Amino acid sequence: MRSIRRLSVVVLLTLAIPASATAQTAATATVLGTVTDPQQAVVAGAAVELRDTGTNEVRTQATNSAGQYSFPGVAPGVYKITVTMQGFKTVTISSFNVDVNKSTR
């Protein structure tokens, strides 16, 4: 009888693991955008910094030739986005909310 209970617990735990792993895939979002100058021309090579204001974790990347950037797998929370490029004024969005399973521009 004991071995049947133990086996039942192992089977239940094994079945619970894939369910929890699947739930985690919908726990993030994507932050994306396009950097443009005052004349609306795209700015390639601009540095984009995404900072989690809760944990202070920082992710950075440069815009592509179309001025676009994308940060996939972003945990929900409040972020600060800073864009810098030599010859241009630095732009900061100090309170940017990211929600689960959404693409945020």
pLDDT at 2: 45
In this structure, the strands spanning 47-52 and 29-34 are unpaired
Q: Where are the domains of the chain?
A: 28-104
For tokens 């986005």, the residue is 81
User: 27-36: per-residue pLDDT in tens?
Assistant: 888 899 999 9
28-104 topology per CATH: Immunoglobulin-like (2.60.40)
For tokens 């010859």, the residue is 87
pLDDT at 25: 52
* Residue numbers in the chain where pLDDT is lower than 70: 1-26, 101-105
